[in-house]
Amino acid sequence: MARRMMSLLPRWSSRVFSVELDGAPFYFAIQKEHQGEEVPRVFANIQKHDRCYSLLVCSRDRIQRAKFYGELKDKLLRDLPPECHLSPMSSFLPNVKDSLIKGYFVKGSPESSSPIERLLSDLIRHDPVLVCSYMRGEDGLQWTQHLWSDTESQGMEMPNDYYVVPSAAPDYHPSTLNIINSDVFYSFNEACDVLKKCGDIIPEAKSVLELLPSRAEARNKPDFPVIVIEGLDATGKTTLTESLRDTLGATLLRSPPQCLSPWRARFDQEPPLIRRAFYALGNYITAEQIGQEGMKAPVIVDRFWHSTAAYAIATAVSGQVANLPGEGSEVYRWPSDLLQPSLVVLLTLDPEERKRRLRDRGQGETNEEQELDHNQLFRLRVEEAYRRISGPACVTVDASPSADQVLQQVLLLIRGKCHL
| Residue 108, phi-psi category: left (phi > 0), alpha (psi -120 to 50), beta (remainder) | beta
Alpha-carbon distances, residue 89 vs 25, 55, 99, 250 (angstroms): 8, 8, 14, 48
Give CA–CA dist 332/355, Å, rounded: 28
Phi, psi of 301 (to 5 degrees): -120, 125
Contact 33, 170 (CB under 8 A): no
What is residue 46's predicted lDDT score, i.e. its pLDDT? Answer: 85
Give CA–CA dist 305/281, Å, rounded: 10
Phi, psi of 24 (to 5 degrees): -120, 140
What is residue 315's predicted lDDT score, i.e. its pLDDT? Answer: 92
Contacts of 249 (CB under 8 A, 6+ apart): 297, 298
Contacts of 380 (CB under 8 A, 6+ apart): 321
What is residue 157's predicted lDDT score, i.e. its pLDDT? Answer: 43
Pinpoint the alpha helices (H) of 249-299. 261-268, 272-293
What is residue 156's predicted lDDT score, i.e. its pLDDT? Answer: 41
Contacts of 292 (CB under 8 A, 6+ apart): 220
What is residue 9's predicted lDDT score, i.e. its pLDDT? Answer: 67
What is residue 23's predicted lDDT score, i.e. its pLDDT? Answer: 75
Give CA–CA dist 113/95, Å, rounded: 35
Q: How far is CA 100 from the centre of its chain?
A: 13
Tens-digit pLDDT profile for the chain (420 aa)? 445 555 556 688 899 999 998 878 899 999 988 888 888 989 988 887 889 999 999 888 899 999 999 899 999 999 999 999 999 999 999 989 999 999 999 999 988 999 999 999 999 888 889 999 999 887 767 899 998 875 444 444 444 789 999 999 888 889 999 999 999 999 999 999 999 999 888 999 999 999 998 764 545 678 999 999 999 888 889 999 999 999 999 999 999 999 999 999 999 999 999 999 999 999 999 999 999 999 999 999 999 999 999 999 999 998 889 999 999 999 999 999 999 999 999 999 887 777 787 777 665 555 665 666 558 888 899 999 999 999 899 999 999 999 999 999 999 999 998 877
The full DSSP string for 354-378 is HHHHHHHHT----HHHHHHHH-HHH
The full DSSP string for 132-168 is EEEEE-TTSS-EEEEEE-TTGGGT-EEEEEEEEEE-P
Q: What single letter denotes the amino acid at residue 269?
A: Q
What is residue 12's predicted lDDT score, i.e. its pLDDT? Answer: 87
Phi, psi of 374 (to 5 degrees): -105, -5
Give CA–CA dist 307/389, Å, rounded: 10
Please tell me the CATH code under which domain 179-418 is placed: 3.40.50.300
Domain boundaries along the sequence of the chain: 2-175, 179-418
Query: How does 89-120 read in b/e, with b if 16+ C-beta sit within 10 Å?
Result: bbbbbbeeeebbbbbbbbbbeeebbeebbebb
